[in-house]
């Protein structure tokens, strides 16, 4: 994922709202969201090249999502797949904090990543470049290809959109999908310097990325909601390849209602 917006315990009806874009090379094979794993407990897309996934949820209410850190001069092609970190949490049973502290010991073997993990009662963040484990408090958060809440233009604008959406008590995710579909680039003076050419910084600054000359861009958008009553809604819109929207609704076990 390259842009993740969260409303955590700030909406009157939803304990957690996640709105995210997955940016990736068009040729990397992937399976759209589906139930998989033992007893079909995990809902996510699947990376068919290295295994793992970029974002998912389970029938027990475990949630995880990941973004890469943009650092083009620090990529190790032999590093293990970061997507496996999401899959490992989703298929495991460790509490989020325990999982992250165990991961911390081996995290530097991976290329740069930001990882969000949680369950019905907790939400945590870890970045292996900042080496910080954070227990998130109720609030609005934004994550792209730098540390949590780094004030890149699309992150700040996305947080504003999410904050307004939550404050309005909205239930229709249309406004979130519309923002994640925006192709407007940020002004040059607001662009970060992440080590890529200026032309790329411009194109990467929009919420929805479209770089056909590099066969790269936003491949899908997902909105996930957890209601306080324990109802979970997942909606995925795929652009490359173009597919019909995929929607899943399920209920958490009554003991896990949030």
Query: Which of 225, 221, 226 is closest to 237 using CA atoms?
Result: 221
pLDDT at position 255 is 58
Q: Answer yes or no: is pLDDT of 185 > 70.
A: yes
pLDDT tens per residue, range 39-53: 999 999 999 999 999
Task: Return the CATH number of the domain spanning residue range 3-256.
Answer: 3.60.60.10
Q: Domain limits of the chain?
A: 3-256
pLDDT band at 23 (very low <50, low <70, confident <90, very high): very high
Average pLDDT, the chain: 96
- The arithmetic mean of pLDDT across residues 57-66, rounded, is 98
The total number of residues written for the chain in this structure: 258
List phi, psi (to 5°) of 171: -120, -25
Q: What is the pTM of this model?
A: 0.97
pLDDT at position 254 is 80
Query: Which of 4, 55, 15 is closest to 226 using CA atoms?
Result: 15
- The arithmetic mean of pLDDT across residues 167-189, rounded, is 97
């Amino acid at each position: 994922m390259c842009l993740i917006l969260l409303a955590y315990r700030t909406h009157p009806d939803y304990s957690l709202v996640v709105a995210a874009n997955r940016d990736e090379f068009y040729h990397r094979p992937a399976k759209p969201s589906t139930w998989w794993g033992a007893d079909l407990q995990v809902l996510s897309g699947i990376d068919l090249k290295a295994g793992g996934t970029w974002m998912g949820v389970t029938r027990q209410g475990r949630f995880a999502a990941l973004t890469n850190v943009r650092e083009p001069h620090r990529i190790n092609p032999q590093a293990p797949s970061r997507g496996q970190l999401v899959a490992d949490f989703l298929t495991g049973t460790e509490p989020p904090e325990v999982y992250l502290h165990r991961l911390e010991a081996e995290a530097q073997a991976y290329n740069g990543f930001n990882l969000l993990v949680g369950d019905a009662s907790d939400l945590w963040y870890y970045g292996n470049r900042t080496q910080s484990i954070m227990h998130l408090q109720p609030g609005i958060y934004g994550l792209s290809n730098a540390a949590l809440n780094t004030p890149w233009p699309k992150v700040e604008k996305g947080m504003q959109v999410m904050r307004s959406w939550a404050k309005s008590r909205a239930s229709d995710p249309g406004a979130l999908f519309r923002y994640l579909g925006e192709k407007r680039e940020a002004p040059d003076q607001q662009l970060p310097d992440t080590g890529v050419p200026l032309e790329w910084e411009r194109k990467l600054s929009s919420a929805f990325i479209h770089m056909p000359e590099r066969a790269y861009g936003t491949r899908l958008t997902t909105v996930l909601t957890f209601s306080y009553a324990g109802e979970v809604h997942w909606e995925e819109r795929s652009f490359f390849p173009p597919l019909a929207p995929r929607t899943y609704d399920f209920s958490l076990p009554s003991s896990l209602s949030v």
